[in-house]
Amino acid sequence: MFNLHFGAIEGKTDLMTEIPTLTLASVDSFESALTVLVAPPEDARTIKRRQAARRVTYCAQRLAVERGYEEFTLDDLAQEAGVSRRTLFNYFPGKLEAVLGNPPRLALADVEAFLEGRPTGNLMHDLSVLVLALLQDEDLAKDEWVTTRRCFERNPKLLVAAMGKFHKIAAAAQQLIAKREGVPADSARARICVGLLAGLFDVSINEFVESEDRRTVADTYMDNLKLASRLLRDTAD
């Protein structure tokens, strides 16, 4: 997500007692990582359902921007999304989950390719291919990214819940690296790789949201990856 939001909640212990939380299963094995990262096979019905859920999330975030997270109800969200209150529960179990949305997922073929050392054989490059696949799965328009950022700016305590989901994805990524590289999931190699990619993602999303050029978020990410690679080479020299 956006690191800039941590400053908004830092030191505000009165908020911390009111932060909404999610119950998240731990990611402590390769198998549990697959359940987090890999999307089940989709057909026309499930694709339509995923698109509808994304619209609900966009509407929920927009209401959180306009009114504040605690100032709108599920009835308000149902009206905004153009569905019944009961239908909302077909997509999300509650308001918090609707605002945070569903995480992007990878195709099994992409994960298998990564584990086999493809497509380039370079760990960081191949991890970036997975990041690009996640961004393509997310497939958000620029105004959706902007709304997401504004949602957390206005409701900073939501970031804690969002970061819980992010850390779960990061832990799953470390399990994939461990499987491919034959190292422990908590090894420095796995943690540094994920940390570098997370930092690049954060910088790229902020740059994409704030810039007026025509690059996609994926293009922005790849440009920053190339820059980071040059910087690391310069440091090594």
* Overall average pLDDT of the 76-90 stretch: 96
Q: Which residues contact 5 (CB under 8 A, 6 or more apart)?
A: 152, 153, 156, 159
Q: What's the rounded Cα separation, in Å, for the pair 146 and 155?
A: 14
CATH number at residue 208: 1.10.357.10
Per-residue pLDDT at 120 exceeds 60: yes
The closest alpha carbon to 138, from 200, 214, 58, 78, belongs to 58
Please check whether residue 68 lies inside any domain of the structure. no
Q: Which of the 8 DSSP states describes residue 185? A: T
* pLDDT tens column, 19-69: 555 544 578 889 999 999 998 888 899 989 999 999 999 999 999 999 999
209 touches 7 (CB < 8 A): no
Range of the domain at 140: 28-39+102-236
Please check whether residue 147 lies inside any domain of the structure. yes
Tokens read off for 187: 């090894």
Q: Based on the structure, what is the number of domains in the chain?
A: 1
Tokens read off for 66: 């306009």
- Cis bond before residue 119 (omega within 30° of 0): yes
> E-strand spans in 71-136?
none
* pLDDT tens column, 185-219: 999 999 999 999 999 989 999 999 998 888 888 89
